[in-house]
Amino acid sequence: MPEAIKGAKLKNRGESITMQKGNLVATAWKDKKIVNYLSTNCDPTQSRIVQRRQKDGTRRDVAAPIVSDLYNKFMFGVDLADQKRMQYSTCRKAKKWYKYLFWFCFDLGVVNSLICMQESLKHKLLTKTRKERKRTQLEYRKALAQQMIGNFRGVRKRKAPAVTGNCGLAHWPTQFDKPGRCKGCLKQNKRFEVSAGCKQCNIRLCIKNDCFFKYHEELLK
């Protein structure tokens, strides 16, 4: 958002500032308070008259940019999409922002595809009394997950070699090229990434929290 828009000082109700670069239109408009809009789908030269109630109960005409109309017209769709997306959200907090963005776009795609399927005549569901009903989001997500998984079967993880008297000396702390989750912290439901670990076991183990020692001590029991 341009600094001139973010720092706009509009005193009177109905005043506005508009800036355009390419197909991006930034607008600051004074209603009860200053509202900022950023749009690619409006004519910056158009405006309309809206009525606003005054403190004494009377109404007066106020100029409003056309983008405010577009926002009020379509904001319900945005709110509805957010509501559906949050029902079965796959998003979770992440240190790296792009991971959250990926899952946000994934959930948004699932919701949009569900709406398209609900509107499709070929995908209508029937009740026992032969009445049409819409597919619920939970039903859709289960079917989608089944299609994505297919006939895949989980691959057993290779177990770390047991520490014996013959190979115990081979288990020394080492530094890996890439960091990963600490196996010891993971058992305690803690999220901690380290580069240190055991080369023999091929796992990440932090030295700071004594996870390296505790992990190998359990293997010796």
Provide the pLDDT for residue 156. 66
148 pLDDT exceeds 80?
yes
66, 47 Cβ separation under 8 angstroms: yes
Helix (H), strand (E) at residue 18: strand 16-21
Q: Where are the domains of the chain?
A: 3-77, 98-148, 173-220
What is the longest distance spanned by two Cα atoms in the chain?
A: 92
CA distances in angstroms from 63 to 44, 49, 139, listed in the order given: 13, 5, 47
In the chain, alpha helices (H)? 3-6, 66-87, 97-119, 137-149, 183-187, 211-220
Provide the pLDDT for residue 27. 92
Q: What's the DSSP call for residue 159?
A: P
CA distances in angstroms from 161 to 3, 18, 34, 36, 126, listed in the order given: 60, 67, 65, 61, 55
Provide the pLDDT for residue 157. 63
Per-residue pLDDT of 32-62, as tens digits, reads 889 899 988 788 888 888 888 888 888 889 8
Which residue carries 């509501």 as its tokens?
Answer: 83
Per-residue pLDDT of 96-145, as tens digits, reads 888 888 999 999 999 999 988 888 878 888 888 888 888 889 999 999 98
Provide the pLDDT for residue 105. 92
pTM across the whole model: 0.44
Per-residue pLDDT of 114-124, as tens digits, reads 988 888 878 88
14 conformational bin, left if phi > 0, alpha if psi -120 to 50, beta if neither: left
Dist CA 118 CA 116 (whole Å): 5
Residue 218 structure tokens: 């359990």
pLDDT, greater one: 157 or 201? 201
Dist CA 67 CA 53 (whole Å): 21
Per-residue pLDDT of 161-220, as tens digits, reads 554 544 455 788 888 988 898 988 888 888 888 889 998 888 999 888 888 888 888 877
Of the listed ranges 17-26, 78-87, 111-120, the one predicted with least confidence: 78-87
